[in-house]
Chain A
Amino acid sequence: MNAALAFKLTHLQAMLLFALVISIAFGFLGKRKPADRVKYIAWTLFLFLLVGVGIGWAMYPFSH
């Protein structure tokens, strides 16, 4: 494989990807039952996005 990898992601795409992957890892490590895992993954993902978007908006006034 000679072609170099090159991903161009927007801030939102990078945050979504990061939050999703980490949420899945936390869900599988933290819970045993599939239903509990799904709930935990959804909840963690929601919190990641909430905090990420929240901090983004909190910084908004300083960028203007």
Chain B
Amino acid sequence: MEESRMDDEGTVVVVSQNSSRREALAFLFAVAGWLVPGLGHALLKMWGRAVACFLTVGMLVFFGAGMRGNLFRSSGNDAFDSLGFIADLGTGTFYLVARSLEKEGADVSHADGDYGTRFLATAGVLNLLAALHAFEAARGRKA
């Protein structure tokens, strides 16, 4: 079903209700993909990508926490801490998994911990990229 309306510049725009429903569904898939890495693609029945996202993000979190990387918290002192928190939060529920794996806390006094910090942040950014990919795929713009 379609309806037409005028935008600010006087151009007639045709808005499809199916299109807006599709957008909403795509947004839901993206959120699902963010919360559980790979879930967005799994809902789209892209099984290979779903498994790949789950395993790669999971491995980065697993090794990052195992190397005692710094898992940033919301109570950051500066902009870098806040950016780190946003990146880490990109892993969705895996953020909580990483917190539970890091029983002894972060240790960035060695190179391992520093690498671990990068692994954790990369896992988050990679998962956000995957969620964005799922969003675009659900909109039919990319596959």
Interface size on B, residues (CB 8 A): 29
CB pair B66–A14 under 8 Å, yes or no, is no
Interfacial chain B residues near A42, Cβ < 8 Å: none
CB pair B56–A8 under 8 Å, yes or no, is no
- Complex Cα distance, B70 from A4, in Å, reads 15
What are 25 residue pairs bridging A and B, where the CB atoms are less than 8 Å apart in the complex?
A2-B103, A4-B102, A4-B103, A4-B104, A5-B101, A6-B68, A7-B112, A8-B112, A9-B63, A9-B112, A9-B115, A14-B111, A17-B63, A18-B60, A18-B122, A21-B60, A22-B56, A24-B52, A25-B53, A25-B56, A25-B130, A28-B48, A28-B52, A29-B52, A29-B133
Given contacts A4-B104, A28-B48, A28-B49, contact A9 B67 (CB under 8 A): yes
- Chain A residues close to B by CB (< 8 Å): 2, 4-9, 11, 14, 17-18, 21-22, 24-25, 27-29, 32
Please report whether the interface of chain A is mostly helix, strand, loop or mixed according to DSSP.
helix
